[in-house]
Amino acid sequence: MKIYINGKFYQKSEAKISVFDHGLLYGDGVFEGIRVYDRLIFKLREHIDRLFESAHAIMLDIPLNKEQLVKATIQTLKENNLNDAYIRMIVTRGEGDLGLDPRKCKGHATIIIITDKIVLYSKELYKNGMEIITVATTRNSHEALNPQMKCLNYLNNIMAKMEAVQLGYEEALMLNDQGYVAECTGDNIFIVSKGELYTPPEIMGVLRGVTRDTVIEIAKKNKIPTHEHVFTRHELYIADECFLTGTAAEIIPVVKVDGRSIGTGKPGKLTQALTEKFRQLTKKEGARY
Ligand code: PMP
């Protein structure tokens, strides 16, 4: 496996960065996860745009422009001769000293591109649906660390994931600091109620997922009323269907939340229909390389 670091390719065992890199020392950096389906890079432009938005918000200059970053990504995929892949794009503040001050990172940002595979959940979970549980760790408040930035500091999500895993669940439902449903640790959440689709708005403390946007786009095209709307766990418990979306997870049905069956307790019809349409889209849309 060849990994891109600042314009050069390294074998996995040689792909290393400084222990003084502020991405490592402080989680000071941003990242993206992107999928490639049969040599089509899905929603590449949207991911690159979000990466630049996250970088802008933390005042991090990415030393390549968007076109150059696209080229570097394609080059990495070609070096590894991959048809299907999961791309991890990382930009850190770069090498500094042991203090926090980003001005001390005098060189430029570190850019890393890894192309690999990812499997988050078993086939059974996709077929039969997943059980999730609400955890005590709330999603970061937007005035503390806005979840709309895809930054390298993922401890908020990891703490929530650990709670779920300790309780024997694969994924955690995170509420925001006001108790409204936000998202899961690495995925957005949707519910279906009376044939209409609901997902929390960004202001509830969620990352504006590219898969979330894609599902909204598919739903609108198919005339399914779709709302970015605030809801509590109660609306979730009494929903007809529930599913999660994310680049790595894609679309995964949720059949139980906090011990309450959702709808029939089986993956819902609309969830299945949207999943099918999503799969079709990944087969025909994207940047070919
Ligand atoms: N929320 C969080 C916290 C995430 O990290 C992610 C990405 N894994 C998502 C939602 C889903 O975003 P996307 O569909 O763009 O992958």
Question: With a 6 A CB cut-off, is 43 part of the ligand 1 pocket?
Answer: no
Contact 157, 185 (CB under 8 A): yes
Tens digits of residue pLDDT in 99-149: 999 999 988 899 999 999 999 999 999 999 999 999 999 999 999 999 999
* In a domain? residue 155: yes
Q: What is the CATH number of the domain that holds 82?
A: 3.30.470.10
State which residues form the domain around 41: 2-116
Q: Using the 8-state DSSP alphabet, how is residue 140 labeled?
A: P
pTM for the model stands at 0.97
Cα dihedral sign, 122-254-219-249: negative
The rounded distance, in Å, linking the Cα atoms of 184 and 275 is 18
Q: How far is CA 46 from the centre of its chain?
A: 12
Confidence of residue 204 (pLDDT cuts 50, 70, 90): very high
Question: With a 6 A CB cut-off, is 209 part of the ligand 1 pocket?
Answer: yes
Closest ligand 1 atom to the C-alpha of 183? 1
At residue 33, the 3 state secondary structure works out as strand
* In a domain? residue 91: yes
In the numeric block, the tokens 């990994």 are attached to 3
Give the end of a domain, one of 116, 131, 150: 116
Protein residue whose Cα sits closest to atom 3 of ligand 1: 186
pLDDT, the chain, mean: 97
Tens digits of residue pLDDT in 154-170: 999 999 999 999 999 99
Tens digits of residue pLDDT in 243-255: 999 999 999 999 9
Closest ligand 1 atom to the C-alpha of 150? 5
Tens digits of residue pLDDT in 71-84: 999 999 999 999 99
Instruction: Choose the residue to mutate in 210, 247, 278, 281 for probing ligand 1, maximizing ligand atoms within 8 Å of C-beta.
Output: 247
* In a domain? residue 289: no
Of 241, 246, 247, 227, the closest CA to residue 273 belongs to 241
